[in-house]
Amino acid sequence: VVLNSFNLKNKVAVITGGAGLLGRKHAEAILEANGRVALIDVNETRLNEVANELESKHGKNMVATFKVDITQKEAVQSSLEQIKKIFGNAPQILINNAAIDPKFDKSKTDKPGSRLENFSVDQWNMEISVGLTGSLICAQVFGHEMAKAGSGVILNVASDLGVVAPDQRIYRQEGLAEDMQNVKPVTYSVIKHGLIGLTKYIATYWAKQGVRCNAFAPGGVFNDHPDAFVQKLTNLIPLGRMAHKDEYKGAILFLVSDASSYMNGATLNMDGGRSVW
């Protein structure tokens, strides 16, 4: 029966950025398919909130949380040891989902730091260290364990902006000079394209050890953005709307379960058609 291939009974999934908007949705998808989740995040308050919510629905022994900075390899390594103790086995699923959500600086006087020519190397290094280096570290620690065990799945959460360039026109503000306009930062493109490269590398590197690796490229999720922005963005999307935050759960479950057992090194675009226009 095909539905059985979606069942995650006896599986443990690590979700980085597990306290964020989508991390908790990925967790719901796994729990609803009978899997258990280990949520990793730097935001302890939100981590506890999310864990309480999930535990009240799915049971205390199904969820564990770890306040870990994924840029610190020793901390990630020690979370692996704790996961083994808590759940009795190493995780068979890793979702590299954590990211720095870049905030536009709202100052009207300085030249916006988001612009390519002004972008600081410190900001570049900080964002890359989470989005790319953090994903590498988690793949090293958890992926190596999967390779030793002979099976596992790694899913790297990229973005539609890992497939196409940002259309900077949607971020423009009327009446501002060109050099004062904020833009989607270069790091976002580099990290998300980089994750697709990391995906292909790992997909071939550990294939013989039974570890699959794929990328997921979702489009923007509606989260109370201003109307004017939503209008400009949805003009770029054939389906004419942003995603709902629950709409990726099916794809996540497909990608981390045996339902996608012959999928390896692929990128699944799920963006309302934005990247084909």
Ligand X SMILES: NC(=O)c1ccc[n+]([C@@H]2O[C@H](COP(=O)([O-])OP(=O)(O)OC[C@H]3O[C@@H](n4cnc5c(N)ncnc54)[C@H](O)[C@@H]3O)[C@@H](O)[C@H]2O)c1
Q: Of these, 1, 101, 121, 224, which contacts ligand X (CB under 6 A)?
A: 101
Q: Which of 130, 141, 202, 233 binds ligand X (CB under 6 A)?
A: 130
**Amino acid identity for residue 144 in this structure:** H
Query: Over the Cα atoms of the chain, what is R_g?
Result: 19
- Scanning 3-11, 109-117, 173-181, 215-223 for contacts with ligand X by CB under 6 A, the matching segment is 215-223
Q: Note whether 183 and 116 are within 8 A (CB).
A: yes
156 contributes a contact to ligand X by CB under 6 A = no
Quick one: 100 or 178, whose CB is closer to ligand X? 100
| Total residues in contact with ligand X, by rule CB under 6 A | 27
Residue 70 binding ligand X, by CB under 6 A: yes
φ and ψ at residue 203, rounded to 5 degrees: -60, -35
Q: Cα 30 vs. chain centroid, distance in angstroms?
A: 15
Paired residues of 154 in beta bridges = 94, 213
| 243 DSSP 8-state letter | B
What are the φ/ψ torsions at residue 167 (nearest 5 degrees)?
-95, 100
Q: What is d(CA 66, CA 82) in angstroms, rounded to the nearest whole number? A: 9
Q: How far apart are CA 128 and CA 159, in angstroms?
A: 15
Nearer to ligand X among residue 8 and residue 99 (C-beta): 99
Residue 34: how many CA atoms within 13 Å on its side-chain side? 9
| Residue of 6, 11, 17, 253 that binds ligand X (CB under 6 A) | 17
Q: From the list 13, 15, 16, 234, which residue makes contact with ligand X (rule: CB under 6 A)?
A: 16
Residue 100 interacts with ligand X (CB under 6 A): yes or no:
yes
* 157 touches ligand X (CB under 6 A): yes
Residue 78 is encoded by which pair of tokens?
A: 């020690």
CB 18, min distance to ligand X, A: 7
**236 is an interface residue for ligand X by CB under 6 A:** no
Site membership for ligand X, residue 275 (CB under 6 A): no
- Token pair, residue 119, equals 């972008």
Instruction: Rule CB under 6 A: choose which of 159, 182, 187, 275 binds ligand X.
Output: 159
Cβ nearer to ligand X, comparing 28 with 41: 41
Judged on CB neighbours under 10 Å (0-12, 13-18, 19+), 188 is: buried
Q: How far is the CB of 44 from ligand X (least distance, A)?
A: 9
Q: Which member of 12, 31, 83, 99 binds ligand X (CB under 6 A)?
A: 99
Residue whose CB is nearest to ligand X in the complex, by number: 20
185 binds ligand X (CB under 6 A): no
- Looking at 78-86, 138-146, 202-210, 217-225, which segment touches ligand X (CB under 6 A)? 217-225
Q: In sequence order, which residues have a C-beta less than 8 Å from that of residue 157 and are 6 or more positions away?
A: 22, 95, 96, 97, 99, 195, 215, 216, 218
x/- map, 18-57, ligand X, by CB under 6 A: -xxxxx----------------xxxx--x-----------
What gap in Å lies between CA 96 and CA 135, rounded to an integer?
Answer: 6
> Which residues are at the interface with ligand X (CB under 6 A)?
16-17, 19-23, 40-43, 46, 69-71, 97-101, 130, 134, 157, 159, 218, 220-221
